[in-house]
């Protein structure tokens, strides 16, 4: 029988086992989500296409949106001031649809390094940066970041001298946070578009630093 | 600086005050809100408008002498009804 891929002992050509199908029973909350969603559609509160559009809109958000915000803060002193005063308003004025999100921007300085965590769940500025990385939601990251942030940072490759204060922001309630990392040295000649390429997702969570301009 | 202490309540329900900060003293970093009380919103009630404070704690206050770096800090959002006035720590008096 013609077949375009081999099935040798359930192992792929690269030697890895095939991922199993998700044939397990639905969890309680998966059933609840399906039931509520179908009821909302049946009762005309929303439609399946509207739900699909909202999922697409969320998936279209990415850290590159946040990188543009950071790069502008680095190059536009008035914007930086507005961003630190009210990050929701400043990002909306810049043209990002962040919905009802209430955002606080915290700025790294030579004396201060900020890092974001949500110990209670997985609060993250999704309406600007998109979905969080999986590790952000793990119990290890959530519990260790408030207890031993310097060790966590070291594992991410961020080694800070003792005279730099580490400030952990626990997103416990209604606010979401973005770190404005320090502008790398040697970037004086770069415009906002070029600078945005240096701003990584992790540098806006605080677990990383912007890329080195010399690498470009 | 305004010193506040997080209450040591341990109620059931949808509580946004992390257990590791209960009983700890910090300073108000900024005030936010009011926001609907999430402990009521989670159960279908209207949610009493409640002021939200950002409170800054030192690592030494939260974790004691075996913390990584005593003057590193943690900031968290705590609702007003979870906070009570706290005296300025004695060490601060000696320092001034």
- Give pLDDT, residue A213: 80
Could you tell me if B42 lies within 8 Å of chain A, comparing CB atoms? no
Could you tell me if A149 lies within 8 Å of chain B, comparing CB atoms? yes
Of B52, B68, B76, the CB nearest to A170: B76
Beta bridge partners of A107: A180
Could you tell me if A148 lies within 8 Å of chain B, comparing CB atoms? yes
Q: Is A201 found in the same domain as A140? A: yes
Could you tell me if A119 lies within 8 Å of chain B, comparing CB atoms? yes
Q: Is A93 found in the same domain as A104? A: yes
What is the C-alpha to C-alpha distance for residues A92 and A128, in angstroms, rounded to an integer?
Answer: 10
- Give pLDDT, residue A14: 83
> Tell me, what CATH number does A84's domain have?
3.90.330.10
Which pLDDT tens digits describe chain A residue by residue (216 residues)? 555 655 556 788 888 888 888 899 999 999 999 999 999 999 999 999 999 999 999 999 999 999 999 999 999 999 999 999 999 999 999 999 999 999 999 999 999 999 999 999 999 999 999 999 999 999 999 999 999 999 999 999 999 999 999 999 999 999 999 999 999 999 999 999 999 999 999 999 999 999 998 766
User: Quick check: B72 and A167 CB within 8 A?
Assistant: yes
- Give pLDDT, residue A215: 67
CATH architecture group of domain B3-95: Roll (2.30)
- Give pLDDT, residue A19: 83
Domain boundary among A28, A44, A60: A60
Backbone angles phi, psi at B28, to 5 degrees: -75, 120
Q: What DSSP line would sit under A59-112, residue for residue?
A: HH--HHHHHHHHHHHHH-HHHHHHHHH-HHHHHHHTT---TT-EEEEEE-BTTE
What is the C-alpha to C-alpha distance for residues A208 and A115, in angstroms, rounded to an integer?
Answer: 9
Could you tell me if A146 lies within 8 Å of chain B, comparing CB atoms? yes
User: Quick check: A167 and B75 CB within 8 A?
Assistant: yes
Please tell me whether the interface predicted TM-score (ipTM) of this complex is above 0.90. Answer: yes
Could you tell me if A144 lies within 8 Å of chain B, comparing CB atoms? no
Q: Is A171 found in the same domain as A98? A: yes
Smallest Cα distance from B79 to chain A, Å: 8
Count of domains for chain A: 2
User: Quick check: B75 and A165 CB within 8 A?
Assistant: no
Burial B44-74 (b: 16+ CB within 10 A, else e): eeebeebebbbbbbbbbbbbeeebebeebbb
Smallest Cα distance from A56 to chain B, Å: 27
Q: Is A22 found in the same domain as A43? A: yes
Residues of B in contact with A147 (CB under 8 A): 63
Active site residue A121: yes
| Host H or E run for residue B94 | helix B90-95
Domain coverage including residue A96: 61-215
Of A119, A169, A174, the CB nearest to B75: A169
- Give pLDDT, residue A4: 62
Q: Is B3 helix (H, G, I), strand (E, B) or coil?
A: strand
User: Quick check: A174 and B62 CB within 8 A?
Assistant: no
Task: Give me the catalytic one of A48, A62, A121, A143.
Answer: A121
CA distances to A24, A30, A137, A157, B21 from A33, rounded to whole Å, are 17, 5, 20, 39, 33
- Give pLDDT, residue A6: 55
User: Quick check: B35 and A172 CB within 8 A?
Assistant: no
Query: For tokens 């309406």, what's the residue?
Result: A127
What is the C-alpha to C-alpha distance for residues B35 and A174, in angstroms, rounded to an integer?
Answer: 8
Per-residue tokens: A139? 């119990």
Dump pLDDT digits (tens) for B40-62. Answer: 999 999 999 999 999 999 999 99
Query: For tokens 């559609």, what's the residue?
Result: A41
Q: Is B57 helix (H, G, I), strand (E, B) or coil?
A: strand
Residues of A in contact with B20 (CB under 8 A): 119, 146
Beta bridge partners of B75: A169, B56
For residue B61, give the nearest of B4, B11, B9 by alpha carbon.
Answer: B4
Decide if A129 contacts A204 (C-beta within 8 A). yes
Q: Is A124 found in the same domain as A81? A: yes
Q: Is A171 found in the same domain as A132? A: yes
In chain B, domain spans: 3-95
Best mutation target among B16, B56, B82 (most A Cβ atoms within 10 Å) is: B16
Which pLDDT tens digits describe chain B residue by residue (96 residues)? 999 999 999 999 999 999 999 999 999 999 998 999 999 999 999 999 999 999 999 999 999 999 999 999 999 999 999 999 999 876 544 443
Mean pLDDT of chain B: 93
Q: Is A150 found in the same domain as A45? A: no
Domain boundary among A43, A60, A77: A60
Best mutation target among A114, A121, A146, A153 (most B Cβ atoms within 10 Å) is: A146
Backbone angles phi, psi at B4, to 5 degrees: -135, 155
In sequence order, the 6+-apart residues with CB closer than 8 A to the CB of A100 are none
Which stretches does DSSP call E strand in chain A?
102-107, 112-117, 165-170, 175-180
Q: Is A196 found in the same domain as A127? A: yes
């Amino acid at each position: 029988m013609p077949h375009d891929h081999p099935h040798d002992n359930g192992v792929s050509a690269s030697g890895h086992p095939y991922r199993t199908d998700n044939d397990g029973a639905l969890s309680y909350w998966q059933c609840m989500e399906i039931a509520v969603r179908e009821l909302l559609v049946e009762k005309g509160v929303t439609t399946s296409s509207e739900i699909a559009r909202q999922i697409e809109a969320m998936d279209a958000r990415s850290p590159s949106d946040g990188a543009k915000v950071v790069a502008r803060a680095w190059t536009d002193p008035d914007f930086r001031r507005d961003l630190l005063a009210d990050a929701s308003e400043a990002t909306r004025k810049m043209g990002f649809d962040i919905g009802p999100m209430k955002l606080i921007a915290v700025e790294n300085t030579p004396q201060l390094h900020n890092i974001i965590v949500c110990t209670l769940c997985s609060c993250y500025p999704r309406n600007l940066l998109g979905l969080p990385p999986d590790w952000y939601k793990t119990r290890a990251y959530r519990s260790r970041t408030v207890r031993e942030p310097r060790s966590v940072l070291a594992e991410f490759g961020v080694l800070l001298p003792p005279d730099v204060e580490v400030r952990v922001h626990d997103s416990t309630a209604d606010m979401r946070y973005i770190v404005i990392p320090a502008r790398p040295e040697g970037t004086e000649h770069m415009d906002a578009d070029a600078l945005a390429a240096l701003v990584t997702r992790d540098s806006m969570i605080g677990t990383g630093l912007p890329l080195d301009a010399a690498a470009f | 600086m305004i010193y506040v202490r997080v209450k040591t309540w341990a109620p059931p329900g949808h509580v946004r005050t992390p257990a590791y900060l209960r009983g700890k003293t910090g300073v108000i970093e900024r005030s936010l809100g009011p926001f609907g009380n999430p402990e009521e919103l989670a159960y279908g009630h209207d949610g009493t408008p409640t002021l939200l404070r950002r409170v800054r704690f030192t690592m030494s206050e939260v974790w004691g002498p075996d913390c990584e770096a005593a003057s590193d800090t943690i900031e968290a959002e705590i609702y007003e009804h979870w906070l009570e006035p706290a005296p300025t720590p004695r060490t601060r008096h000696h320092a001034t």
